[in-house]
């Protein structure tokens, strides 16, 4: 049975496009009020106006670059000043870089780890206590199929997503016996701006709406899982890697992602 989010507030990072935008539309359709965070003010404003014109949701936007140090603390402070109570946290903001490690800029690496790991962890830790106190809440962390094996050519990105997967599954274990849910969602190549930023080209890309639909379907279950892989093909590939040597898997993935092979 679909969960009713009427009267609840969902905080969504990376909400100006792609998966974040589709989560915003989906939660608004289920009655939630929204707090949308991203760097692009114009995109956020356009999305907020559209959602408010079509639903009863109240939409608040915050323009903020979450890859910067202490940005999570800044966001928490901004929302505290607005007396916002967060019922649903969707840590969607993130990016990857398709380059060999020795060719990557150190400042870019810091931003990638800061956004994909540090900000996600700090926002989760910041809003988890109030969810536990209410014995109600939902945390959705966007991982990736890259979390399931090393990815030569995207080594930092894959490592950050392995962290997200592990953190979220451990959190799910800590939350057993409560009504607070934690779910790691691992999409494969998705029709977003990801590859525009990362470089390279995705294959067999699925719509962002598929990612959101599968995530919400899992959360609607009474005993939802700690993590899901989006798409039957991706689930099959993740299963196959368990029965193949790590050396063979890494070699195969390298043939796909090393641009200068």
DSSP string, 202-256: -SS-B-HHHHHHHHHHHHTSTT--SEEESSHHHHHHHHHGGGS-HHHHHHHHHHH
Cα separation, 135 vs 186, in Å, equals 26
Cα separation, 259 vs 153, in Å, equals 7
Identify the active-site residue in 127, 148, 157, 163.
157
- The DSSP bridge partners found for residue 141 are 91, 184
Q: What are the phi and psi torsion angles at 208 (to 5°)? A: -60, -25
Please list, in sequence order, all residues whose beta carbon lies within 8 angstroms of the beta carbon of residue 52, skipping any fewer than 6 positions away: 58, 59
Q: If you ran DSSP here, which 8-state letter would residue 33 be given?
A: E
3-state secondary structure of 229: strand
Nearest to 100 by CA among 148, 154, 151: 154
Is 148 part of the annotated catalytic residue set? no
Give the CA distances from residue 105 to residues 66, 98, 100, 249, in Å, rounded to whole numbers and listed in that order.
Answer: 19, 12, 11, 27
Just list the catalytic residues. 157
């Amino acid at each position: 049975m679909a969960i009713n989010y009427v009267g609840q507030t969902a905080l969504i990072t990376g909400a100006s496009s792609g998966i974040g935008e589709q989560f915003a539309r989906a939660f608004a359709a289920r009655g939630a009020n929204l707090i949308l965070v991203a760097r692009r003010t114009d995109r956020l404003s356009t999305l907020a106006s559209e959602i408010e014109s079509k639903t009863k949701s109240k939409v608040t936007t915050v323009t903020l670059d979450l890859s910067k140090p202490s940005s999570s603390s800044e966001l928490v402070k901004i929302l505290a000043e607005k007396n916002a109570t967060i019922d649903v946290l969707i840590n969607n903001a993130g990016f990857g870089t398709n380059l060999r490690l020795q060719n990557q800029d150190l400042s870019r690496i810091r931003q990638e780890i800061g956004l994909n790991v540090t900000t996600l962890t700090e926002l989760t830790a910041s809003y988890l206590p109030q969810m536990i106190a209410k014995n109600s809440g939902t945390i959705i962390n966007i991982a990736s199929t890259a979390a399931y094996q090393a990815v030569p050519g995207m080594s930092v990105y894959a490592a950050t997503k392995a962290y997200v997967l592990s953190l979220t599954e451990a959190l799910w274990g800590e939350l057993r016996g409560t009504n607070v849910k934690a779910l790691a969602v691992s999409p494969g190549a998705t029709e977003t701006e990801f590859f525009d930023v990362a470089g390279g080209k995705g294959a067999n890309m699925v719509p962002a709406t598929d990612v959101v639909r599968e995530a919400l379907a899992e959360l609607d279950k009474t005993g939802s899982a700690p993590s899901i892989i989006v798409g039957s093909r991706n689930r099959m590939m993740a299963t196959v890697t368990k029965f193949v040597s790590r050396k063979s898997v890494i070699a195969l993935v390298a043939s796909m992602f090393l641009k200068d092979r």
